Structure 1
Amino acid sequence: MGLVSRYVVPFLNEHYIEAMLSLLVVIFINFIVPKNNKKKGEEAMQNGSVPGHKSSSTKEERASKNVIKSGGVGDVADDDEDEGLDNLVDPLWPEDLKHVPFRPPRYTQEESLQRSRDYFELLNKRRSVRFFSSEPVPREVIDNIVRTGGTSPSGAHTEPWTFVVVGDIDMKHEVRRIVEAEEEVNYTKRMGSQWVNDLKALKTNWVKEYLTEAPWLILIFKQTYGILPDGRKRNHYYHEISTALAGGIMLSAIHYAGLVTLTSTPLNCGPQLRTLLGRPSNEKLLLLLPVGYPSLDATVPDLQRKDLEDIMVVF
């Protein structure tokens, strides 16, 4: 006891204990934690994850793995997209791909100004129309409209789109049945009161007569990945943006042909319509465009577009 009292007890005062605890904290922070983090980082790199970052959802983890696996950049997978993409090492295009001279028409400044003004005035008359005539439209006109949509740019020129054209009356009735059933639920339960109230003045609801009145329906599907002849899957870069651009170009072609359309986006109808039309699982419905002439009593809301200064910023 004498030895304990002489050598140990003096070190058990609170100041000494506090100092020792502080020293242990410093050692832990500066030596033990960095070593453990380094080990975790090495393990994370081997597993293809990023150390220190927790995935906020299974969807994000899946999308990240898919993009890395397919070698793609830019696209984030939808809930059921891009599953099981093959890790292709062969390039999409050969290295010796031929490049050819490009000589588009060259106009004077005055001509460019006039053409830009004329095109704006033409497209400024475009309106979304919900009242269609059953007057037939030649199939050749629709063919050219679809060809025009196919001139859109796409990521790595993968052309990730399919345009399904429906003119058969029975098939149009089936499309309408599916769309109206889902849209009724959308308007009454899913969309919420603010969204529904915002649409009231536009005179739109879940009843879609134009789906059977218009002579043609064009359903625009995005191909979330490509399927090679040997069955392997190839990533389609920016498939949604590319297909949306194709839809925009198609809108201008429809208007230029003297026809009208409506950018219909039937919520929750994609899988059923894909099945009805026999489309493969890599295709997802993006837009549905009824195409034809407006009915004689067609009306549109008296809306104005934003002024240039409200949509353009110049530096």
Structure 2
Amino acid sequence: MAFSPLTPVFVAIICVLIVIILKGSRKSSRKEQSNASHKTESRPWVDEDLKDSTDLPVEEEDDGEWQGLDDNIAHVSFSTERYAEEDMLKRSKAFYELLNKRRSVRFISDEPVPREVIDNVIKTAGTSPSGAHTEPWTFVVVQDAEIKHKIREIIEDEEEINYKKRMGDKWVNDLKRLRTNWIKEYLDAAPYLILIFKQVYGRLPNGKKKTHYYNEISVSIACGILLAALQNVGLVTVTSTPLNCGPRLRVLLERPTNEKLLLLLPVGYPRKDATVPDLTRKPLEDIMVVV
């Protein structure tokens, strides 16, 4: 076979190109690995309970049969109170002013709160809309002092690790101005702890799993209504997502595995020496767009 005198040159060029491509590939691979590692390190605190499970498929026990309300459910006429425009304006302004006073309060009094009030605010939260009217929420009200203290121990154990290792310097520094840390005295002091669980699926009478559509969004809406209801009766709370505590708290409270802890609210009156950060809220033009 005859070879062109340029063949060695071409071979050398090809070898150089291969080396360059391989080096570039390694750099790209290392960069991707670094980015993946960075993403992992920047959000290592997210536990399975707090991940959005809206789209999680129900296991094959769901045979596709109608599993919601009874067939041919009756529809009834509906009407609501209609106000004069002047009254609407007054009511909307009064309700805004009430809710605008809401603050996250970490100094909660141990003064007793009527239990019926708690029942009523939770019933109010239970009026929330939900996907296909599945009502995928469980409100666990804890008033026993021993259980409250066990909850505090579990949360403080994990929160210390969160602050020191999981959350990262940026998040911890952002919280410094709010003067928060892993010590949660209000979990012992508050007369009630309300733990809100999302039911990622339900159970039919025959034991099969029942799909809970948009369970994450549905329960989140209920939590918002609950916050408004608490503000309406003069009680305070601080929204708490007990990171990496869900499984231990679920076992402590003897909740089934289809329930995932979404939020914890210590509820009571503010202490007489209570303080809150002097924060301002965004003006309307920064949060609303009219098209």
TM range, normalised to the smaller chain? 0.7 to 0.9
* Cα gap change, 1:85 to 1:196, in 2 (>3 Å): farther
1:169-217 per-position Cα deviation (integer Å, ceiling 9, x unaligned): 0000000000000000000000000000000010111110110010000
Whether 1:123 and 2:102 are equivalent positions in the alignment is no
1:233-255 per-position Cα deviation (integer Å, ceiling 9, x unaligned): 01000001000000000000001
Q: 2:253 aligns with which of 258, 273, 277?
A: 277
How far the C-alpha of 1:95 sits from its partner, in A, is 3.8
Given residue 170 of structure 2, which amino acid in structure 1 is its aligned partner? Q
Q: 2:112 aligns with which of 114, 122, 136?
A: 136
1:112-167 per-position Cα deviation (integer Å, ceiling 9, x unaligned): 11100000000000000000111000111110011011000000000000000000
Corresponding residue for residue 226 of structure 1: 202
Q: Distance in 2 between matches of 1:296 and 1:151?
A: 33
Whether 1:252 and 2:231 are equivalent positions in the alignment is no
CA RMSD of aligned residues (A): 1.3
Aligned-partner SS, 2:196: strand
Percent identity over the alignment? 64
Corresponding residue for residue 132 of structure 2: 156
Corresponding residue for residue 55 of structure 1: none
Given residue 206 of structure 1, which amino acid in structure 2 is its aligned partner? W
* Cα gap change, 1:98 to 1:140, in 2 (>3 Å): same
How far the C-alpha of 1:297 sits from its partner, in A, is 0.5
Corresponding residue for residue 211 of structure 1: 187
Corresponding residue for residue 186 of structure 1: 162
Q: Distance in 2 between matches of 1:85 and 1:187?
A: 41
Q: 1:75 aligns with which of 45, 49, 54?
A: 54
Aligned-partner SS, 2:183: coil
Is contact 1:88-1:234 (8 Å) kept?
no
Corresponding residue for residue 37 of structure 2: none
Aligned-partner SS, 1:260: coil
Q: Distance in 1 between matches of 2:66 and 2:278?
A: 54
Q: Which has the larger displacement, 222-231 or 276-285?
A: 222-231
How far the C-alpha of 1:84 sits from its partner, in A, is 5.0
TM-score for the superposition, normalised by structure 2: 0.80
Q: Distance in 2 between matches of 1:84 and 1:168?
A: 40
Higher RCO, Cα 8 Å, sep 6+: 2
How far the C-alpha of 1:86 sits from its partner, in A, is 1.9
Q: Distance in 1 between matches of 2:265 and 2:206?
A: 33
Q: Distance in 1 between matches of 2:192 and 2:54?
A: 31
Q: 2:143 aligns with which of 163, 167, 173?
A: 167
How far the C-alpha of 1:89 sits from its partner, in A, is 1.2
Q: Distance in 2 between matches of 1:128 and 1:151?
A: 23
Is contact 1:85-1:235 (8 Å) kept?
no
1:51-86 per-position Cα deviation (integer Å, ceiling 9, x unaligned): xxxxxxxxxxxxxxxxxxxxxxx9322xxx845552
Gap regions ≥5 residues in structure 2: 1-52
Q: How many pairs are equivalent?
A: 239
TM-score for the superposition, normalised by structure 1: 0.74
Q: 1:199 aligns with which of 136, 159, 175?
A: 175
Q: Distance in 2 between matches of 1:161 and 1:95?
A: 23
Corresponding residue for residue 104 of structure 1: 80
Corresponding residue for residue 294 of structure 1: 270
Aligned-partner SS, 2:88: helix
How far the C-alpha of 1:87 sits from its partner, in A, is 2.4
Over 4 Å off, 4+ runs:
81-85
Q: Distance in 2 between matches of 1:289 and 1:131?
A: 13
Aligned-partner SS, 2:98: helix
Given residue 215 of structure 1, which amino acid in structure 2 is its aligned partner? P
How far the C-alpha of 1:228 sits from its partner, in A, is 1.5
1:218-265 per-position Cα deviation (integer Å, ceiling 9, x unaligned): 000000001122211010000010000000000000010100001100
Aligned-partner SS, 1:304: coil
Aligned pairs for 1:304-315 within 5 A: 304-315=280-291
Is contact 2:68-2:133 (8 Å) kept?
no
